[in-house]
Structure formats: C-alpha cells, structure tokens
Amino acid sequence: MQAGGVQGGQVFRATWRSSTVWVAALVLFMALVFAVGAAITPRGTWLLGGLAGLFVLMAWLLLQPLFSAHPILSVGPEGIGGYLLKGQTIPWSDVADLEHVSVQGQDHLQILLREGAVSQGAKAGLFRRGLKRGIVLSSLRKGERGPAVQAALQAFDRHASGQARVALKGRMDDLVAHQAFEDRLRALTPTPWALYAVIAVNVVVWLLNVFDGMSATKPESAELFAWGANSASAVVRDGEVWRLLTATVLHGGVLHLALNMFALWDAGRRVCRWFGNGQFLLIYLGSGLAGSALSLHFSSQQAISVGASGAVFGVLGALLVGVVQHRASVPKAMVTQLLTSQGVFVGIMLAQGFARSGIDNAAHVGGLVAGAVLAWVLVERMDERASTAQRRRQQVIALGLVVLMVGGLTRTAQPGVDHGALFQSQAVLKDLLPRMRAVEDAFQQDATAQQEGRMTDAALIDAMERRHIPAYREVVQTIRSLPPGDAMPRLGDIGDLYATLLDIMVLEVGKHRGMTDVAQANAQQEVLAARLKDISARLKPTGP
C-alpha cells in the first residue's frame, strides 16, 4: 500500500505476493502440462497445444496489473479509481452505492452508479454491467484486501450522501465481523496443507497416466480400469476393494480433473480451516469411499467410474452442514453467501447429473450425504468448548460411520458387467481383427483367382488344406479361448461364423481328396450354408 495518487487518499498496488500470482503460476503449470502432453501423446495434439496457448494467455492477463502504472485501487476525497476502471476516477457524486462482495473467496468492490452519471470515470471500466462497475482485489496481498475494502467504504462514508451512509454502516459492521471470523479461522489452521496434498496427489496421478501413454483428454476405459477404476464386478466378485479408493484419484481427462480441483479449492480451504487438516482428510477420504461404494449399486454396474467428485461433494456437504450448525457464530452475511452460492452449485451439479448420461450421480449423492453426516458428527476447530477427549470420541464415531457406510454398501452390492472379461476380450479382438481380415482377404483372393481361371480347382483345394484351414482354425480357437459371458454378446456369433466357414472348407477338401462321401458332404454343406446365412443376418447392423 502507498499513500498518494489521489489527493489526500490511499493507493493500493498489485504485488507479486498476491493470490493472483499463485493462480497465474498454477495456470502456467497447467499450460506446461498441456504442452508436454501435446509433445508426448499422438492423440489430441492440436487440442492440447491450443489449451496450452489459451492458458498462457490467461496467465498473461492475470499478471497484467503487476506491470501497469495504474493501482488496483485508489480512494480519496475526489472519488474511487483503479486498474479495472482504466486508471480513471469515479467522483463520489456519481456513486449511488458501494459494496464489498466475496465470490468463491475472491474480494470485489461493486460500485453502483447513480442514474445520469456522466463523468469520464463512470464511462470507464473493464468489468461493467449497466450501472455497476467492479474492482477485483485479488492482485493485492491477502492482508491488504481488508484494509483496502475498509479504506474504500470509509471514504464513501465520509463523502457519500446521508442515505448512502445508512446502508453503508450495516455493511461496515458485516465486513468487520467477516474479517474477524476469517482471522480466527486462519489462526486455528494457518496452512491448509491437507487440501494442497489432495490436489497434488490428483494432479500427479494424472501426470503419471499421461506419461504412461494414456490420452490426456480422453483416456480409454480399459486403461482406466487397469489403473484402478471402480467396477461392481471387480470389487464385489473379485474382491478388489482397493478400487473404491484408487477410482477417486483417476480422471477421465484433464478437463474432468480441472473441474473437480476447481470445485474443491474454495470449499476445501474453508473446510480445512473449520475442521482442521486431519478431519478434512477424514471427510474427504470417507466421502470419496462412500461415493464409490454407492456407485457399486448404480453406475459401476454397467460402466467403470472414476473421479474425485464424490469426495468433492462430501467437502461441499460438510461446508453446508458446518454453516448450518454454527450459523449463530458465523457472520450473517457469510451464512447467506455460503448457503446460497454453495447450495445452488450443489443443486445445479446434481440436477445436471440426473439429466445427462455418463455422469456417476450415485457417487455425488453418496459423497454429499457422507460428508454431511461426518461434518455433523465431528467437532469443528472453532468450537473451543469441546475437550480433547470429546474431539477424539467424535473422530472415532465418524471413522466407525465410514466403515459402516462403505462396508454395508459394498457387501449388499451385486456384480454387474464383467469389465475384466470385457476389456480382455476387447484387447484380444484388437489384436485378432487384423489377422481375421488377413485370413479373409487371403481366401477371397484365391477364390477369386479360381473363379477367373487363374487358379485350378486342385490348387485351390491344396491352398485350403495347407493355408486357409489352419488359419481359420487358429482364429476359431482364439475366439473360443476368450472368457464366456455377455460382455461382448456378438463374439459368440463371430466365432460361429468362422467355425461354420471352417467346416465348409473341411468338407470341400474331404470331397476332393476322396475322404468324404460326396452326396453326404453336399447335404452337410447345404445345412452349413443355411446356418451361415442365419449368422450373417444376426451380425448385420440394424437401424434405429
């Protein structure tokens, strides 16, 4: 903060120690991740490169206030100005109201202009909507934001009209209470290291996936399953209960990861400070496990499930319950803001999950309920009346509830689609399909040559006996060796098709070699031809 700039007022300039710099650093790191992904993965190169460029541009825009001659905020007798007002000053005579707003933990000053404001400053502004102008304070150090807001509101109080002062006094009281509450929480938990650790684990696992060859934007289901995605059949039938946890650190692409970590950031910091780092981890992990366990009854029956969203919803549920439980001691404006913003966000996300396919809403609901229950049981750090013994007892109860919820949901789930067999079959077929095409093409070439007179009947029979029959037999044996089940329902028909063609060729060779009665062989071939027609009809794609 520096004096001067506005006569008799105060000036607040951007600093390299602000949260904006950290956000810009994170954005640049994500740009680097995208650039590395574009360099090492053959899929999505242009998309990843474009995202890298977009994130570099975002970081550049975030850091612009640091290189500008205009301060973030300037207040004085003449009016209010700042970087987002393009360096212009709005005289107090043009200001009808001034309000401090916090959006996702970011402090803003919202200026409401009076009707008919004509000053140059009133016409300026990068954040303008009708008569509203915005000044974002995130480029200031966290310790300077409160004084900056107070300086602006106090200047408005001194120079505004009498009617504005009445509305302002209530907001000033709210601001003081809000700042005191935040300072108290920050003193109880100075560093939310548990949140940082959780985000780091999710990002590192995603990077390991990419370095292992997985697509950065749209990984294959089989790859995610191999890394530990949730699956009812794998957990319930095969006993791979560890998937309930590993699924929470896997994501279906960088966008999925970014959205989850963004949603976690603001709510996670508050829950960390309200409950402490250790209890935050209990809420996060317990909610993630409960969400995965409930998913066993729904989404994970048919498809694999990945993502930290169950745990994130648990943190959101814990925050909402914490606000409700302590609404008497939490500043009223903060209660309204948190219940409105976070509650609406949860409602929209759940509604979207129910309206769209491909979203594991069971994990969201399971995590939300688990987080709310755990928050109701645990003792918040701000509750100074609770003894250490009481806190320990509630933690044991919460841990027991996690075991009961996860254990009960897991034991009552039924195995669904056998994803292990499905992906094994898909892998075998991926390798087998080129061989099948080669086998078909080789036989078709010889059959065409025989029909066009370029190959004798005897040569075709010899080719069938030496090359085509062994090749078809190998294909049939490979298909028959795949795990049985309904994971790939057409696989049986494909095997029957090749087996029928194999039988027809064996009979044809037998007729020409004199090893089979011709009339009997012809009759059998007619039956096989009818079967072949029926199988081909079943394999033919049908319209909607």
| pLDDT, tens only, 85-111 | 887 888 888 888 888 877 656 778 888
- Distance (Å, rounded) from C-alpha 68 to C-alpha 421? 60
- Distance (Å, rounded) from C-alpha 215 to C-alpha 38? 10
Could you read off the pLDDT of 172-181 as tens digits, one per residue? 667 777 777 7
Smallest CA-to-CA distance from 261 within 308, 316, 214 is with 308
Burial zone of 412 (CB within 10 Å; 0-12 exposed, 13-18 middle, 19+ buried): exposed
Host H or E run for residue 90 = strand 89-91
Burial zone of 373 (CB within 10 Å; 0-12 exposed, 13-18 middle, 19+ buried): buried
Question: Active site residue: 364, 419, 468, 512, which one?
Answer: 364
The identity of residue 37, as a single letter, is G
Q: Please provide the DSSP assignment of 487-526 as one string.
A: SSTTHHHHHHHHHHHHHHHHHHHHHHHT-S-HHHHHHHHH
| Residue 364 designated active-site | yes
Whether pLDDT at 129 is above 80? no
Domain boundaries, the chain: 19-160, 193-412, 419-539
Could you read off the pLDDT of 461-511 as tens digits, one per residue? 999 999 999 999 998 888 887 766 555 567 778 888 889 999 999 998 998
pTM score: 0.66
Q: Are 267 and 368 in contact (CB under 8 A)?
A: no
Q: Are 317 and 369 in contact (CB under 8 A)?
A: yes
Q: Could you tell me the CATH superfamily of domain 193-412?
A: Rhomboid-like (1.20.1540.10)
Q: Kindly indicate the confidence band of residue 543, based on its pLDDT and cuts at 50, 70 and 90.
A: very low
Question: Active site residue: 18, 139, 295, 309, which one?
Answer: 309
Q: Strand, helix or coil at 542?
A: coil
Could you read off the pLDDT of 40-84 as tens digits, one per residue? 766 667 777 888 888 899 889 888 888 888 899 999 888 898 888
